Chains A and B, each alone.
Chain A
Amino acid sequence: MNLLRACTFLLLFLAAPAWAGDRITIAAAADLKFALEEIVFAFRQAHPADQVETIYGSSGKFHTQIQQGAPFDLYFSADIAYPRLLEKEGLAASPVRPYAFGRIVLWSASRDARKLTLADLADPSIRKIAIANPRHAPYGKRAEEALRSVGLWEKVKDRLVMGENIAQTAQYVQSGNADVGIIALSLALNKELAAKGGYALIDDKLHAPLEQGFIVTRRAAGNTLAKQFADYMGSPEARRIMVRYGFVLPGEAAGK
């Protein structure tokens, strides 16, 4: 009987919500990992009782999961096309809001990448080049476009390794398994990555713009906290953090 009582207690304990306020879950593209973490931290100063959970992954995967009813209240995509698709399917509770333009950079953990250019990738001593998978990762698509623009795609194709999302791509480089990677500026500016090798910005005229957008999902239509967070993205504090991580904000031409 003691065991039964212990089990009952455990179940009640596990089932009881550990928070008193509201709660939102954000699905965000992997390039936002560090920037959004800071924004959420700042947001929670004003909402100490509420829970904000963030999950990072590839934009395409989240799109599919939300289509299939995943419990995400906000969806930050690295490619604005995905939330637009959801909006068309009636799965959005807010208009698609553009929140930033991403930039791609050359980054390395094993060599000085600060003076690296795309042309240098032709050098055969660079044995493995990591990019995100161009088939579904926005940053990978832009990396492919940039490599094609400079006429290098065919030359480097056999040396490419592809990450499932941009964070895994950075991890391939960080662990030294790839010599150079084309990753998001927002990741290269993170302290841990910035301490190694440095980075070189890739001219954004070489690829289509990395326009990023977010929506409040249909399931969060009545969720005040979700709406508050969406509005907070336009606040000076959130914008300052985004700029610090190398994002170009809509309506601003900085960083060119």
Chain B
Amino acid sequence: MPSPSDWSAIWLTLKLASVTTAILLLIGTPIAWWLARTRSWWKGPVGAVVALPIVLPPTVLGFYLLVAMGPNGPVGQFTQWAGIGLLPFTFTGLVIASVFYSMPFVVQPIQNAFEAIGERPLEVAATLRATPLDAFFSVAVPLAKPGFLTASILGFAHTVGEFGVVLMIGGNIPDKTRVVSVQIYDHVEALEYTQAHWLSAGMVVFSFVVLLALYTLNPTGRKK
């Protein structure tokens, strides 16, 4: 059976994934909107930066975050000056890392959905005297709903599956940074295979259910 420390790791993982997904929907939506509609020269570079975590090994992200958020790094200097202290080994630090790490999995589905809407519905909204903000919330967002659904599920699931970055900047602290993937790794290293099996099998079931939900709730997602 899962031990109390397993349950706390599960709870922490769900909390991390929820907070990360919420933040990503908030900051990812404007980025996706801009990427979908801009004709600026910057579209290419910005899109590439957003997609970087798909290509980069988690160790690159982990290493740079550790150095940047450390006492001598720019982020670390700022957080110390602001009285927040240092971010590595904290839940906040993990959230920031996860936001970078899962960004493309939230931005890209929303961007695709916005692009699929095209100009026409928004032009119609404009002729009906909708302000751009009004048109965004009452036309674009409802039409892009499948994209938002895909983005939320992928962002959440990808954060749950995070390991390398957490191992590098987490410091394995119960209830703060010891997520399920790290807990499984510790069980295996401590030769506690039964415990590792419980959590690993749980992860397999969870991941399957998430993907099943993605494909059944959102069948249009496959046609892209």
Contacts and interface: CB of A to CB of B under 8 A. Distances in A.
Across the A-B interface, the 5 shortest Cβ-Cβ residue pairs: A161-B171, A162-B172, A136-B189, A60-B189, A176-B71
Question: For the complex, would chain B's binding face be called helix, strand, loop or mixed by DSSP majority?
Answer: loop
B186 A177 contact: no
B70 interface: yes
Interface string A172-202: 1001111000000000000000000000000
Interface of A: 58, 60-61, 63-64, 110, 127-128, 130, 133, 135-136, 160-164, 172, 175-178
Given A162-B171, A177-B86, A177-B88, 18 more contacts: A58-B189, A60-B189, A60-B190, A61-B189, A110-B71, A130-B171, A133-B189, A135-B189, A136-B186, A160-B173, A161-B89, A161-B173, A164-B167, A164-B172, A175-B66, A175-B70, A176-B70, A178-B171
Chain B: interface size category: 20 to 34
Contacts of A64: 188-189, 191
B161 interface: no
Contacts of B190: 60, 135-136
Contacts of B185: 164
Nearest to A158: B173
B67 interface: yes
Contacts of B186: 133, 135-136
B121 to A, nearest CB: 48
A226 B186 CA distance: 30
B53 interface: no
A161 B185 CA distance: 16
Contacts of B86: 127-128, 177
Interface string B16-42: 000000000000000000000000000
B127 interface: no
B71 A177 contact: yes
Contacts of B89: 128, 161, 177-178
Contact of B191 (A63, A110, A162): A63
Interface in B117-149: none
A172 B186 CA distance: 18
Contacts of B88: 177
Contacts of A177: 66, 69-71, 86, 88-89, 171
